Amino acid sequence: MMLHFIRHGDTLQNIADQINLENPVYIKEFHNQKCSGEDYISEDLVVGKKLFLPDSVTVQNYNSRNDAPFKNPEKNPKLNFLPVNSDLKYKVNIKESSFDNGKKSENSFSYDFSLKWIRSEYNHHTFQFSKTNFSNIKEKLGDLASGCLQSLNPIRLETNWEGEIEAINISEKTLKNFPKIKEKLLDQFPDKYAKIYIDEFEYAVLNQELFQKKMNQDWLLKTFFAPIRKPFKNGKSHFKIFLENKNSEIEIEQKGILNNEVDEVVLSQGLMSDDKENDFTGKYILSAETGLIKSLEITNSYSEYDVSYSTEMKIDQI
């Protein structure tokens, strides 16, 4: 048995972490069995009072009960990825904002996307992916960009068994017809600046390595197909993702959240460690049976050269 005097900031959880006790409720149980009446803990810890803590052998005995909250099966979900015969449609809403010298600017837009399973072979799944119905794009450049993207529909995606993208390809039919596609885009957007953009777009389309790189920077693709299905241990799983500021890679900590819907798995995400330049939160709702995403919400904020940026994205199945 060990004696501890309660300090400011002490909680059952952080004390349990210090002595490697998995379930913090046993601190109160052990103490109340050993203490006098005046030191009995009914609810909160009281600063300055004694706290009797279990020794290492007793801690091991408590841990052997395997009843710590983080060992709850709902907090350690086994996530499937079973997309066979799926044909899904989603609505995407994105809000981008920046704050510079007291001036705030915002840009919001939305679009739909479809994801249709085609086949499974050689340890990967193949899908058709399309973006459509762009709205609230106010600038001409936005219309041009969305028009260029939609001209490539459908794009072919290949994922591994856990739903992570392995390849992004333009269909042979689209590549074959691209001269006509480009001609149509030039007719639709006839000014000289649009021609520069379309020429650059053509170069990216015909350069597979560059096309893959640009597509992998797409916020939808890198969050919807993020490695969220990694195994959980003690209520947590971890994965890395590249964000938009300087392509910095951060580590995300993911937790399973208890909920009343037996057919859903809810995941909460945050940064693995404190980061003064980045702030990231996420919430995913998946089908418990197939592991396919029903909805997700992502917020990412960062600062660069004294300018603050923020991206909020919400995706819902329709």
Output the pLDDT for position 128. 96
Side-by-side strand order, sheet with 264-271: 165-170, 155-159, 124-135, 103-121, 87-100, 307-317, 293-304, 278-287, 264-271, 249-257, 236-242
- Using an 8 Å Cβ cutoff, are 165 and 213 in contact? no
Q: For residues 247 and 219, give the distance between their C-alpha atoms in angstroms, rounded to a whole number.
A: 12
6's tokens = 């309660």
pLDDT computed for residue 137 by the predictor: 60
pTM of the model: 0.81
pLDDT tens for 279-298 read 899 999 999 999 999 999 99
Tell me, what's the pLDDT at 203? 94
pLDDT computed for residue 244 by the predictor = 64
Give mean pLDDT in consecutive 10-residue pieces for the chain, a chain of 318 residues.
91 92 93 90 89 94 88 87 97 93 88 96 94 75 85 95 94 92 92 91 91 88 94 91 70 88 91 78 95 96 86 95
pLDDT at 276: 67
Bridge pairing between strands 155-159 and 124-135: antiparallel
pLDDT of 20 reads: 93
Packing angle of the helix pair 208-216, 192-206 (nearest 10 deg): 100
Q: Which of 241, 240, 235, 274 minimizes the C-alpha distance to 257?
A: 235
pLDDT in tens, 96-151: 999 988 888 988 899 999 999 999 998 899 999 999 999 876 555 578 888 999 99
Q: What is the pLDDT of residue 107?
A: 87
Q: Is the peptide bond before 154 cis (omega within 30 degrees of 0)?
A: yes
pLDDT at 152: 93
